[in-house]
Amino acid sequence: EPLYIITPTYRRPEQIPELTRMSHTLMLVKNVHWLVIEDATVATKQVTRLLERTGLKFDHLTAPMPEKYKQKKGAKPRGVSNRNRGLQWIRANATNGVFYFADDDNTYDIALFDEIRKTKTISMFPVGLCTKFGLSSPVIKNGKFVGFYDGWIAGRKFPVDMAGFAVSVRFLLQRPNATMPFKAGYEEDGFLKSLAPFEPKEIEFLADNCTKVLAWHTQTKKNEPSAPLDMKLYGETNLVKLKL
Ligand code: UGA
Ligand code: MN
């Protein structure tokens, strides 16, 4: 059964290197369908070209962040319009298998993908964080779920990272109203709550009862876009056209 990977992305100097890294991980995985969704009105040609070169099954879609959130000062709901577009695609095109929200800048162990294929309803597993908390994870004691460990609980029912859960397509299709809210910090919690009714104890805990880290929430240093650095974005074919 297919594994749908929903990846939000947006144009910036780091975009092509991030997607190169991530695509080379996915190229090691069987039966994946990569939904790459850009926060843009027009799909970036260089991204489409990169996707074509991977040989992976993919769809390259666009879903711009609504203007009212873009204008907002402070924390923005990043990747939400993209992920909701991915869910819409799944509702229209998929009948079985599993989907997973995989941001373009994280780091994934290829063993993760065989784990999440096991998902019958909703599964959860640890995510490594490069912070002093080190980890976001369900806590399993003597084989039983006892709670969540996360550096930022903030009143959430499901204090988990975006990279810390997977959902079966059939389970989603039975919940036509499930959606991700445009609410910075509460995207995961809001989406998981929208999949109700289900309780934390019904979750399928993977990665050897949540004892293994197979996904890391890594972040690449942001770089200022500049004319020569844009070569990275435009790709090797434009290099020769650049007059330096
Ligand atoms: C954390 C969470 O892991 C994200 O899932 C969440 O959306 C985000 O915070 C948030 O709440 O704002 P973080 O690493 O801080 O992630 O955020 P980014 O990696 O910058 O963005 C998450 C995803 O959205 C990435 O795949 C990124 O490419 C995409 N994104 C980011 C956009 O599509 N548009 C943007 O303007 C920014
Ligand atoms: Mn990130």
- DSSP letters, 118-186, are T-SSEEE--EEESSTT-EEEEEEETTEEEEEE-S--TT-SS---GGGEEEEHHHHHT-TT----S-TT-
Q: Which of 76, 51, 64, 58 shows the shortest CA–CA distance to 10?
A: 64
Quote the ligand 1 centre to 153 CA distance (angstroms).
18
Q: Which of 78, 84, 233 to mutate to test the pocket of ligand 1 (most atoms within 8 A of CB)?
A: 78
188 counts as catalytic: yes
Question: Can you tell me which residue has the tokens 């100097």?
Answer: 13
Which residues are 156's β-sheet partners? none
Q: Which of 80, 73, 82, 75 shows the shortest CA–CA distance to 40?
A: 82
Query: What backbone phi and psi angles, to 5 degrees, belong to 232?
Result: -60, -40
Q: What pLDDT sits at residue 11?
A: 93
What's the pTM?
A: 0.94
What residues are in contact with ligand 1 under a 6 Å CB criterion? 8-10, 39, 65, 78-79, 82, 103-105, 161-162, 184-185, 187, 217, 219
Q: Which helix (H) or strand (E) holds 16?
A: helix 15-26
Q: What pLDDT sits at residue 201?
A: 73
Q: What pLDDT sits at residue 175?
A: 97
Q: Which residue numbers in the chain have pLDDT < 70?
A: 226-244
Question: Do the beta carbons of residue 147 and residue 139 sit within 8 Å?
Answer: yes
Of the residues 1, 67, 188, 224, only one is catalytic, namely 188
What ipTM goes with this model? 0.94
Structure tokens at 48: 């489409």
Q: Is the peptide bond before 2 cis (omega within 30 degrees of 0)?
A: no
Structure tokens at 184: 């910075």
Q: Which of 67, 60, 54 shows the shortest CA–CA distance to 22?
A: 54
Cα 87 to Cα 6: distance, rounded to the nearest angstrom: 8
For residue 64, give the DSSP letter.
P
C-alpha dihedral, 154 to 159 to 164 to 168, nearest 10° = -130
